[in-house]
Amino acid sequence: MLVCVVGSEGKMGQALVGALKTTKDRVMCVDKVLSSDEIGSREIPNCLKAPSLKSLKVLPNVVIDVGGSKSSVESAKFCALNHLPLLIMSTGQSKIDRARIKVCAQKCPILMAPNTSRGVGLILKMLSASDLSGFDAAIVETHHQNKKDNPSGTAIMLEKKLKARGANVVSVSGLRLGEVAGTHTITLCCGNETITITHTAAARKNFADGAITMLETVLKLPNGLFEEGEINEKN
């Protein structure tokens, strides 16, 4: 399988490319900092490489976007045009950007997955199986200083899931500290009882490994826009 990573030269992109080189999949690296005559990336010396999706000479089987909110819209347009499945890990899209992505999803399957780690997937399944009526909930997330969106896409996804299960979400807040890859804490309170759930990703490799596993799901999806929380609930 030929996997295209958009945003390949960023930290998350390099984690993905590094994880993919341990599989049998071939990799295409797409990043605006690259030129079309370059061969290889920092992780894979002989992978196909291009500065943009439009400049690709060969179509991939699937696209993963980690290039940022604006990049995800361009990836959606490209995948719609070529009827390719798309996994969007980038977060921070505006309402207009999400609307554009939804239009593109009429012609290709698109999965929005802000957190592909196995641990967050497990938390989503736990929440999906729970009746949280009567619980107050608060979410606190912590990420590295360079993360632009606040609260994180994962926190927003968890908030939606909590509300769907009947919880009263009273606050969602974010901290930007050091080089933290990602920590999310959910606090649930009902009467005199308190439940705390914390997930910490020590490295971006957690997300990269989870994304590769999630590709199997993306390849089986019909055309349409799907949320990670929905997929975890069905699986």
- Looking at the annotation, which residues are catalytic? 143, 147
Strands in 168-176's sheet, in edge-to-edge order, are 168-176, 136-143, 182-190, 193-201
64, 85 contact by CB (below 8 A): no
SS3 163: helix
Q: C-alpha distances in angstroms, 187 versus 158, 170, 184, 199?
A: 12, 10, 10, 12
49, 28 contact by CB (below 8 A): yes
- Smallest CA-to-CA distance from 115 within 47, 230, 7, 208 is with 208
110, 225 contact by CB (below 8 A): yes
- Size of the chain, expressed as the number of residues it contains: 235
- Beta strand segments in the chain, E: 2-6, 26-30, 48-50, 62-65, 86-88, 109-112, 136-143, 168-176, 182-190, 193-201, 224-227
